[in-house]
Amino acid sequence: MAHPQTLAEYALNQFNNLDFFNISLCPKELRTSGGCNNPCTVFNTNEYCCTSGDCGETNYSKFFKQRCPNSFSYPQDDAINTLICPSGTKYRVVFCP
């Protein structure tokens, strides 16, 4: 897989005075001019479209989970890996080449 595009999102001072944040990575084959397509839109298969209601791991979520075990990589993974800090936390963002 090619290097993914990256998007960082922060929601500061939210529910229970917590900060929520995530970092999204978009593989090359899902890129679009407006950001990142859903794999369902690109491939239109049951595996990616969750037509059975069970949105489990896919090759994409496994790829990222192997490299970042604490990542949120598919819908049922949310409760385990949502990143939070108390409001007022001082953040340092470092951009690497």
Beta bridge partners of 84: 20
Within a domain: 96: no
Within a domain: 91: no
Q: Which domain holds residue 45?
A: 5-86
* Tally of residues, the chain: 97
Contact (Cβ atoms closer than 8 angstroms) between residue 6 and residue 25: yes
pLDDT in tens, the chain (97 residues): 455 567 778 899 999 999 988 777 788 888 888 778 888 889 998 888 877 767 778 888 888 788 878 777 776 776 666 678 999 999 888 877 6
Q: What is the pLDDT of residue 14?
A: 93
Q: What is the pLDDT of residue 18?
A: 93
Pairing, β 31-32 against β 35-36: antiparallel
Coil, strand, or helix at residue 71?
coil
Q: What is the pLDDT of residue 1?
A: 47
Query: Total domain count for the chain?
Result: 1
The CATH number that applies at residue 59 is 2.60.110.10
Contact (Cβ atoms closer than 8 angstroms) between residue 8 and residue 23: yes
Within a domain: 67: yes
State pTM to two decimals: 0.55
